[in-house]
Structure 1
């Protein structure tokens, strides 16, 4: 006969698993929370087993039968259902044992050195040379900041930068504070008194209209000069008209010099019909660059722009500060757009013609009435704007 006893001092537990059964060596701890609910818990590597107490409608007992006697002890038990949970603390970035970025980079570079192409090896070496050690830089950061602050103080101001840029423009000397063309670009800034006086006009004053082209230094593209000399001769002689004739003669020298400036000095002298020495020396000194230790000269792009600007400023003086850019463009065999930009670079603004001025545009005389009306509306005059102001350099968007 079996003796049955009840023991409530020991409380074993019955449990089921939601997934695979863990190791038999796993030991669970029993604890009761603040709400009075009992739970089982056990950590196993990166998994944390936590129980969920079930509340079944039946009571459960565990029977314990001893071998040495025939008694059976029944122990009351609770039923639990155990779920595995990932240990988030163990898998957080602060606790994971991961290889650092530097170590991964070193390993990748080692593979590249061993098996990479020449291009890959070159890229690895360049990256290593450009690598900045932040820890070592931290020791000198204060010195670098101090040097930056010191050097920033000696940087040129906007005003000084503008002054340097203005001084390097392909222009004659100018008075930025001048209130008129004659004050900003004085004739004496364009050519010296000896050069001015060497431009003889005696033969031109007595020559007929058909003889004038043969008396000019430039035998081609002299329409602009020819028209103005005839216009000045038809007016009452005055000191101003004579001065403008001399400027037209000098402009004719500039037109011809532009065509032969890259030739030898003897060839230039021949093409300019043996000009006065002072005038020839002035042309070479203003519009060519001499090589060091040599008599050779170069007609550079800067010199070409300088010569064209000289012609434009002379035209402003001759045309009383109102020049038709299309006429100059035709004489120089350049587009009107380029001449417009050149006028702007010397400080001019382009102003549309008035109704009265449009009727006098000589270049439109041969066109039909409708074409004259359309073209004259787009015609403009270049006029020096005072106070003098040069165009600002536009900053475009950065390209990728």
Structure 2
């Protein structure tokens, strides 16, 4: 047993570390580069976005000597939090830049960032500059808005002359009802002569305005870049190079997928190791049997891909509830590292503006399924059975096929050579599959026919 004196000493030591917090302000080297406080007025960048701080060079101050001559004196280094700085960063599609509004926001106040050391129970306050960032879409920054313009009115003048002649005939030979309609049309007619002075300016502006419109190729590039699909390579010569595995799921997350229980499980227990609704998937069951029945050591990468697909679909099954309470998802995914859960939330959810709450939008749902199907294509040798996947997801084939088409797949029957390559039975020849071919072609938008008048 411990003596009363030793218990008292331990209690005093614990109290001394928990009750007293030492607060200090960092003043060793105020000019040293430190943290920057940034606020985003519209769109928040992903956590992996890199930012750089830029500052103008410090000029030496000039002092006048006794005889009136001017000498350059080396300037004393200015405090980092008070310097004129510019913060900038970018993603694949958006640029973030300093708006220049920080100076007005900092007037009359200072911002400090606190860094707490739990071991020593100290709080270090570091002065920090404030930066207010805006955003610019890369694909649209080269488009220059031009003033609106008009067109020539010669055709309209000739049409007005014909209407006047018809009105004269109607007044002379028309019925009472026709004459009433002509008078109503005359009251509603516009006086085009009032626009004669601006016709030339309007026509010139139309010609200039059409120059800023994107070409068909540029419009296609903008449309492709906004697709809710993984990063793709249009110049790929092999299907496996269209969507790189590390562009679908980060390598750090894929390496963290737990597969030890799946490797050590008996055949009848393997499906029990799959989390979420895909535990009863026929597609998953067929692929697990194929991996373990190859006669060789099971591919760890394939097992991790299959497990990651199940993890994504588990999140999809209860996304609205998991966005409100993340702990529910962690309970459904026991043993899954937090790096995977963090990655799912960062890529497939959005933060509600003005709060820290997250939501799962329709765009997020499309993006999640296209990532899942891109992984399915890799496991299926780029020819997936959409009917089987639709049955496992409890969706119709007509809802699943468009997601594969977004990835550039064609829904068609396989040739005899492809059947042999995939080692499929003859009965599968009449069944359509989603096939990814190169060169990659995305579906074209259908032109809607104008309804008949």
Pairwise same-fold verdict (TM > 0.5): yes
1:361 Cα deviation (Å)?
A: 6.6
1:104 Cα deviation (Å)?
A: 8.2
SS of residue paired to 2:258: coil
Deviation string, structure 1 residues 70-128 (Cα, Å, up to 9, x no partner): xxxxxxxxxxxxxxxxxxxxxx99999x79xxx98997599xxxxxxxxxxxxx9xx6x
Where do 1:222-237 residues align within 5 Å?
222-237=281-296
Stretches of 4+ aligned residues off by more than 3 angstroms = 92-96, 103-110, 236-239, 353-362
In structure 1, the partner of 2:211 is 153
In structure 1, the partner of 2:385 is 324
Is 1:284 aligned to 2:345, yes or no? yes
In structure 2, the partner of 1:392 is 444
SS of residue paired to 1:162: helix
SS of residue paired to 2:412: strand
Deviation string, structure 1 residues 316-369 (Cα, Å, up to 9, x no partner): 11111121111111111111233223212211123314569499778xxxxxxx
Which of 355, 368, 383 is 1:307 aligned to? 368
1:173 Cα deviation (Å)?
A: 0.8
Which of 236, 243, 253 is 1:195 aligned to? 253
Is 1:173 aligned to 2:234, yes or no? no
1:389 Cα deviation (Å)?
A: 0.7
**Counterpart contact for 1:184–1:388, Cα < 8 Å:** yes
**Counterpart contact for 1:205–1:233, Cα < 8 Å:** no
Change in CA separation of 1:146 and 1:214 when aligned onto 2, cut-off 3 Å: same
SS of residue paired to 1:211: helix
- What CA distance in whole angstroms lies between the structure 2 residues aligned with 1:94 and 1:341? 55
**Counterpart contact for 1:172–1:185, Cα < 8 Å:** yes
- What CA distance in whole angstroms lies between the structure 1 residues aligned with 2:166 and 2:217? 55
In structure 1, the partner of 2:144 is none
Give RMSD over aligned pairs: 3.3
Which of 335, 346, 359 is 2:407 aligned to? 346
In structure 2, the partner of 1:378 is 430
Which of 218, 224, 231 is 2:276 aligned to? 218
**Counterpart contact for 1:221–1:332, Cα < 8 Å:** no
**Counterpart contact for 2:258–2:336, Cα < 8 Å:** no
- What CA distance in whole angstroms lies between the structure 2 residues aligned with 1:149 and 1:232? 63
Change in CA separation of 1:354 and 1:387 when aligned onto 2, cut-off 3 Å: closer
Where do 1:16-35 residues align within 5 Å?
none
SS of residue paired to 2:268: coil
SS of residue paired to 1:262: helix
Q: Point out where structure 1 has 5 or more consecutive residues left out of the alignment.
A: 1-91, 111-123, 363-371
**Counterpart contact for 1:216–1:249, Cα < 8 Å:** yes
Deviation string, structure 1 residues 229-250 (Cα, Å, up to 9, x no partner): 22101214458x2211110010
In structure 2, the partner of 1:260 is 318
- What CA distance in whole angstroms lies between the structure 2 residues aligned with 1:186 and 1:208? 32
**Counterpart contact for 2:411–2:434, Cα < 8 Å:** yes
**Counterpart contact for 1:170–1:305, Cα < 8 Å:** yes
Is 1:141 aligned to 2:199, yes or no? yes
**Counterpart contact for 1:323–1:383, Cα < 8 Å:** yes
Using the size of structure 1 for normalisation, the TM-score is 0.62
Deviation string, structure 1 residues 205-242 (Cα, Å, up to 9, x no partner): 11112221221222544322222122101214458x22
Where do 1:126-137 residues align within 5 Å?
132-137=190-195
1:272 Cα deviation (Å)?
A: 2.3
Q: Point out where structure 2 has 5 or more consecutive residues left out of the alignment.
A: 1-164, 173-178
Where do 1:84-99 residues align within 5 Å?
none
**Counterpart contact for 2:229–2:406, Cα < 8 Å:** no
Where do 1:73-92 residues align within 5 Å?
none
